[in-house]
Chains A and B, each alone.
Chain A
Amino acid sequence: DVKVTQSSRYLVKRTGEKVFLECVQDMDHENMFWYRQDPGLGLRLIYFSYDVKMKEKGDIPEGYSVSREKKERFSLILESASTNQTSMYLCASSRTSAEIYNEQFFGPGTRLTVL
């Protein structure tokens, strides 16, 4: 059974703190993604990675960084958390193939509150 896990379901941090969100997938997928989801908005891509040590900016990378040292793990880092980063963070993974179809599998999400 495919599985994407995230380190925390709920997290409360203070403004200015450094925050680490961890994501692990056990499907040997090449691609991993970090999104944030806010009410009334679609999922917005923060960063993605197509391979180990490789990262690409998504639509809203400002205030975030990522790390992918191992294929199964993709970390999202908030260098100095701010209140406007209060959100639901979703990690996803997908495989790479010659086919067009690339279903993404999602983790359960981390609801981050920054006070």
Chain B
Amino acid sequence: GQNIDQPTEMTATEGAIVQINCTYQTSGFNGLFWYQQHAGEAPTFLSYNVLDGLEEKGRFSSFLSRSKGYSYLLLKELQMKDSASYLCAVADSNYQLIWGAGTKLIIKP
């Protein structure tokens, strides 16, 4: 079967760095997405990786290793507004998105 695994919840301190991991097993691979979802709101796109390596975008970076079926989202200089759920999704061989359950990130002052 297809599955995406990510931690259910993480806690970090304002100003610190946090890494959210995602492992996947899917039928085919056409890219991995990270979305951010604040409570009660729609998911919004953060990043897309299709090749191995690190993609940096401001305070957020995303890493992919296709051979290991592994990705992480790195958030630097954490701010209170970063408190949200972070969703990992993989596009399979049919370009359908398989979604993880999301990681709820709690930022403490």
Cα-based distance from A42 to B98 in the complex (angstroms): 8
Contact B33 A108 (CB under 8 A): no
For residue A41, CB closer than 8 A to chain B, the reply is yes
Report the Cα distance A107→B37, complex, angstroms. Answer: 12
Given contacts A42-B87, A43-B87, contact A100 B31 (CB under 8 A): yes
Stretch at the interface among B41-49, B57-65, B71-79: B41-49
Give every chain A residue within 8 A of B31 (Cβ-Cβ): 100-101
Secondary structure of the A side of the interface? Answer: loop
CB of A100 within 8 A of CB of B99, answer no
How many interface residues does chain B have, given as a range?
20 to 34
Which residue on chain A has the smallest CB distance to residue B97?
A104
A106: Cβ under 8 A from any B Cβ: yes
> Can you list, as one digit per residue, whether each of B1-14 has a CB less than 8 Å from chain A (1) or not (0)?
00010001000000
A42-B4 contact given A90-B42, A102-B91, A106-B42, CB 8 Å threshold: yes
Contact status A90-B101, CB under 8 Å: no
For the complex formed, measure the closest distance between the CB of A31 and the CB atoms of chain B, giving whole angstroms: 9
Q: Which of A39-60 contact B (CB under 8 A)?
A: 40-45, 48, 58
Can you pick out 21 interface pairs between chain A and chain B where the beta carbons lie within 8 Å of each other?
A: A40-B101, A42-B4, A42-B99, A42-B102, A43-B99, A45-B96, A45-B97, A48-B96, A58-B96, A100-B30, A100-B31, A100-B50, A103-B45, A103-B48, A104-B45, A105-B45, A106-B42, A106-B44, A108-B41, A109-B40, A109-B42
Residues of chain A having any CB pair with chain B under 8 Å:
4, 40-45, 48, 58, 90, 100-109
